């Protein structure tokens, strides 16, 4: 059961097109799976919490919205991300090479302390496997990142993956409170007098 | 350019660069279109991007990378988000309404600028905007303080829909000069009211009906009241967050984005209507095309309307005599320098996460009046104290010669010299109307989808 504090973290998804990034999120957040998931999930971001023994970790999950396709992700996407899941498709060797370059990109553009998890998705398609578990595991160990094989289709290791990330995240606020603010709609009468 | 394997899915609206037009109306779902966005740069936002040190240096040095010494002096690349065009956002202005309407607000955080200053006789003064500030400001003499206060009180009570607040004055007929004269305001007071509060760029407003200027002062005063110490807000990490936020909004609604792709030409049919764009050997078809003037210049669709001079200055100290403000705007009214156009300074720093700790970026700009526009900025540069290094820029401004309905080319205007987004926002809203035939209703939708935040 959740106890103690609630910590908020931004988590971004990276990886080549059609490896199942949105499917992983939809499985984790809504516990659903669609064979023909729309390439973008149509929301700014989704939220879902993971309960640990001493804290609740609330993820604000950003999907690429297709902007990874032509390598056109904006700096805003990486900014402030405490964690990233880099996804590849175990039946597609090219996507594993892609994942490695996404890890590099993340190390270059993201926060130096970002927690990275490598997810080999579509683990239900064992007979079409082109990326050996061992190879991905070794790569992950060398780079000090988490690794797990997942299946958004039959829900294998999806929750575990987020749980593992939640465990690794520091439970202190990632940065000191700033006096920055989001813009909020003014009250109605106020709105009227403004120009 | 459009991916050729997607022939069957013709994008309906290729857009180039930020503008900031493209995403605003297209992406928020009210205007149903498939958007393909192509940009020749490797970053979002074209002229409204915020660049890191390498990209900034490369832009001004023919693509060359800076030497290591450059970073040793200024700091790390990732500490910097330097705007090419300095603009602040009026807290109650049109851009804020557009951000709220499109909910791009959920991607951005803002902070007020610390202060708003005005130049007089070689010195800078904080702009007084309330009765209390007017009484304590050294900008005004003893008797003038009282007259200015009476003027403010009249303005604050004024509601154009309530004739009883007009006190017998018809501001749709009375000129601004007549209104100033009614309150016996001195020329120097008129100057800072017109330029530092109503943000007029020259003095032509004096002989026009007072109402628009009065509304502009209202905007200033309400904006000041909204968040804090100045009427301006500015996004954390620089203005580049705006085009990035709009691009994400558009992508979420199915838009396709391609950075770093050249657009060689816009393709026209025999009837003079644009039907696509071409880059390399790729072609994208679309029934309407939006872009900034640079993509249409060679097709004779734009006219030059003037030049803007800008100087991006790096400092290792705040601007002298500004109470160590970490961010501010200074307006130098044209008449102070016997010019026709005002000069603007916007200072931002580490407090908005756009510069390394201890470093400040001051951008000076004005509409050019001579053959040596950078020299015109000298009085602004002189206020900054020692400058570590600077990048000078002088660009021509363009605007479309037609509204786009005849040739399917919907073109934005270049970003002008004004230090705020009011004119650019009006341009975006005009583009929306030209494309859809209707005004964009900016009234905030109260039932915003929950969970989307």
Mean pLDDT within A98-117? 93
Taking the CA of residue B408 and the nearest CA in chain A, the distance in Å comes to 26
Residue B140 has pLDDT above 60, yes or no: yes
Q: Which residue of B has its CA nearest to A112?
A: B78
Q: pLDDT value at position B451?
A: 35
CB B365 within 8 A of CB B343: yes
DSSP B37-85: EE-SSSSTTGGG-EE-HHHHHHHHTTTPPPPHHHHHHH--GGG--EESS
Test B215 with A195 for CB contact under 8 angstroms.
yes
pLDDT in the model for residue B379: 97
- Closest partner CB to B105 (pick from A40, A183, A195): A183
User: Would an 8 Å CB–CB cutoff place B101 in contact with chain A?
Assistant: no
Q: What mean pLDDT is predicted for residues A161-168?
A: 96
Percent of chain A with pLDDT over 70: 87
Gap between the Cα atoms of B418 and B421, Å rounded: 8
Compute the distance between CA of residue A138 and CA of residue A96 in angstroms, rounded to an integer.
13
What's the pLDDT score for residue B52?
92
What is the average per-residue pLDDT within B139-164?
Answer: 93
Q: What is the mean pLDDT of chain A?
A: 88
Looking at B2-6, B60-64, B233-237, which range is the least confident one?
B2-6
Q: What b/e sequence results for B149-170 when a residue is b if at least 16 CB atoms lie within 10 Å of its CB, and e otherwise?
A: bbbbebbeebeeeeeeebeebe
| DSSP 8-state code for residue B4 | G
> Which residues from chain A sit within 8 angstroms of residue B96, using beta carbons?
183
Q: Which residues of A touch B227 (CB under 8 A)?
A: 181
More confident residue, B254 or A105: A105
How many CB atoms lie under 10 A from the CB of residue A40? Answer: 18
Residue B211's beta-bridge partner residues? none
Which residues between 143 and 172 in chain B have a beta carbon less than 8 angstroms from any beta carbon of chain A?
A: none
**A183 vs B100, B215, B443: nearest CB:** B100
Q: How confident is the model at residue A185 (pLDDT cuts 50, 70, 90)?
A: confident
Chain B, 373 to 432: residues with Cβ < 8 Å from chain A are none
Residues A62-86, mean pLDDT to the nearest whole number: 92
pLDDT of B29 higher than 90: no
CA distance B374 to chain A (A): 32
Is A193 an 8 Å CB contact of chain B?
yes
B270-300 core/surface letters (b: 16 or more CB in 10 A; e: else): eeeebbbbebeeeebebebbbbbbbbbeeee
pTM: 0.89
Tokens encoding B31: 């205007």
> What is the pLDDT averaged over residues B129-148?
87
Say if residue A138's pLDDT is above 90: yes
pLDDT confidence bin for B419, thresholds 50/70/90: confident
Whole-angstrom Cα Rg for chain A: 18
Asked if the model's pLDDT at residue B31 lies above 60, the reply is: no
Asked whether the beta carbons of residue B106 and residue A47 sit closer than 8 angstroms, the reply is no
pLDDT recorded at residue B450: 39
Question: Are B251 and A67 within 8 A, CB to CB?
Answer: yes
The CATH number of the domain covering residues in A5-168: 3.40.50.300
Using CB atoms, which residue from B92, B111, B233 is nearest to A195? B92
Give the pairing type, strands A146-149 and A115-121: parallel
What are phi and psi for residue A59, nearest 5 degrees?
A: -90, 135
Whether residue A182 and residue B252 make contact (CB cut-off 8 A), yes or no, is no
Q: B447 pLDDT exceeds 50?
A: no
Give how far the C-alpha of residue B129 lies from the chain's centroid of Cα atoms, to the nearest Å: 22
The CA-based dihedral angle spanning residues B17, B19, B25, B27, taken in that order and rounded to the nearest 10 degrees: 30
Contact between residue B52 and residue B46 where contact means Cβ atoms under 8 Å apart: no
Sequence ranges of the domains in chain A: 5-168
pLDDT of residue B417: 86
pLDDT band at A175 (very low <50, low <70, confident <90, very high): low
SS3 B105: helix
ipTM over 0.85: yes
Calculate how close chain A gets to B128, using CA atoms only, in Å: 19
Give contacts of A179 with chain B, Cβ < 8 Å.
111
Dump the DSSP string for B206-217: GGSBSHHHHHHH
Q: Looking at residues B218-224, what average pLDDT do you find? A: 91
Count Cβ–Cβ pairs < 8 Å, chain A vs chain B: 108
Q: Average pLDDT, whole number, for chain B?
A: 88
Check residues B138 and B400 and name the one with the higher pLDDT. Answer: B400
Rounded to an integer, the average pLDDT of B46-58 is 92
* A174 and B CB contact within 8 Å: no
Collect all residues of chain B within an 8 Å Cβ-Cβ radius of residue A65: 248, 251-252
Q: How high is the pLDDT of residue A97?
A: 97
Q: Which residues of chain B are within 8 Å of residue A180 when distances are taken between CB atoms?
A: 109-111, 236
How large is the angle between the packed helices A21-30 and A158-168, nearest 10 degrees?
A: 90
Which of A43, A47, A70, A113 has the most B C-beta neighbours within 10 Å, making it the best mutation to test the interface with B?
A70
Neighbours of A74 (CB within 10 A): 22
pLDDT tens, position by position, B358-391: 999 999 999 999 999 999 999 999 999 999 999 9
Contact B248 A77 (CB under 8 A): yes
* SS3 sequence of A97-164: HHHHHHHHHHHHHCCCCCEEEEEEECCCCHHHCCCCHHHHHHHHHHHCCEEEECECCCCECHHHHHHH
pLDDT in tens, A24-57: 999 999 999 988 877 666 677 899 999 998 899 9
Q: Which B positions 232-261 lie with beta carbon below 8 A of chain A? A: 233, 236-237, 240-241, 244-245, 247-249, 251-261
The sheet carrying B328-332 orders its strands as B123-126, B115-120, B328-332, B343-349, B360-367, B302-315, B389-400
| Radius of gyration for chain B, computed over Cα atoms and rounded to the nearest angstrom | 23
Residues in chain A: 195
């Amino acid at each position: 059961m959740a106890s103690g504090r609630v910590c908020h973290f931004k988590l971004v998804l990276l990886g080549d097109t059609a490896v199942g990034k949105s499917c992983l999120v939809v499985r984790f957040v809504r516990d659903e799976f669609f064979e023909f998931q729309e390439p973008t999930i149509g929301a700014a971001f989704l939220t879902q919490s993971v309960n640990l023994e001493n804290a609740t970790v609330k993820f604000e999950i950003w999907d690429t919205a297709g902007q990874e396709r032509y390598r056109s992700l904006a700096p805003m996407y990486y900014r402030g991300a405490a964690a990233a899941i880099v996804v590849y498709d175990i039946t597609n060797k090219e996507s594993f090479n892609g994942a490695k370059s996404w890890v590099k990109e993340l190390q270059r553009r993201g926060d130096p302390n970002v927690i990275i998890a490598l997810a080999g998705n579509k683990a239900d398609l064992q007979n079409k496997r082109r990326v050996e578990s061992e190879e991905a595991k070794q790569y992950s160990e060398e780079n000090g990142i988490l690794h797990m094989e997942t299946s958004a289709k039959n829900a294998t290791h999806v929750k575990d993956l987020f749980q593992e990330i939640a465990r690794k995240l520091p439970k202190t606020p990632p940065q000191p409170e700033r006096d920055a603010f989001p813009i909020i709609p003014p009250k109605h009468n106020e709105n009227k007098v403004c120009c | 350019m459009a991916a050729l394997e997607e022939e069957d899915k013709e994008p309906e609206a290729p857009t180039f660069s930020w503008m900031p037009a493209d995403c605003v109306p297209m992406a928020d779902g009210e205007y149903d279109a498939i958007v393909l966005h192509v940009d020749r740069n490797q970053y979002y936002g074209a002229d409204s991007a915020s660049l890191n040190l390498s990209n900034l240096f490369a832009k001004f040095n023919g693509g060359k990378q800076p030497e290591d010494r450059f970073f040793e002096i200024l700091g790390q690349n990732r500490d910097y988000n330097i705007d090419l065009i300095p603009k602040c956002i009026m807290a109650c202005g049109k851009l804020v309404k557009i951000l709220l309407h499109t909910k791009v607000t959920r991607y951005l955080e803002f902070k007020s600028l610390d202060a708003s200053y005005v130049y007089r006789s070689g010195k800078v003064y904080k702009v007084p905007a309330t009765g209390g500030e007017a009484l304590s400001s050294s900008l005004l003499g003893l008797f003038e303080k009282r007259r200015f206060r009476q003027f403010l009180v009249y303005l604050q009570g004024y509601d154009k829909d309530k004739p009883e607040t007009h006190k017998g004055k018809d501001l749709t007929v009375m000129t601004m000069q007549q209104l100033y004269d009614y309150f016996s305001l001195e020329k120097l007071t008129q100057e800072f009211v017109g330029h530092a509060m109503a943000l007029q760029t020259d003095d032509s407003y004096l002989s026009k009906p007072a109402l628009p200027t009065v509304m502009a002062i209202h905007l200033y005063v309400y904006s000041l009241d909204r968040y804090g110490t100045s009427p301006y807000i500015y996004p954390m990490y620089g203005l580049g967050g705006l085009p990035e936020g709009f691009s994400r909004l558009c992508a979420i609604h199915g838009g396709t984005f391609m950075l770093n792709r050249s657009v060689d030409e816009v393709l026209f049919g025999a009837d003079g209507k644009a039907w696509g764009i071409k880059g390399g050997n790729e072609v994208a078809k679309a029934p309407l095309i939006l872009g900034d003037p640079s993509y249409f210049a060679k097709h004779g669709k734009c006219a030059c309307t003037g030049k803007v001079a800008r100087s991006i200055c790096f400092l290792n100290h705040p601007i002298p005599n500004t109470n160590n403000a970490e961010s501010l705007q200074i307006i130098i009214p044209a008449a102070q320098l016997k010019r026709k156009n005002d000069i603007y300074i916007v200072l931002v720093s580490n407090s908005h996460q756009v510069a390394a700790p201890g470093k400040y970026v001051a951008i000076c700009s004005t509409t050019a009046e001579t053959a040596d526009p950078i020299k015109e900025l000298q009085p602004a540069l002189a206020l900054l104290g020692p400058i570590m290094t600077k990048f000078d820029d002088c660009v021509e401004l363009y605007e479309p010669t037609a509204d786009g309905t005849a040739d399917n080319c919907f073109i934005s205007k270049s970003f002008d010299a004004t230090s705020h987004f009011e004119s650019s926002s009006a341009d975006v809203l005009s583009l929306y109307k030209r494309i859809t035939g209707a005004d964009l209703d900016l009234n905030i939708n109260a039932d915003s989808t929950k969970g989307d935040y």
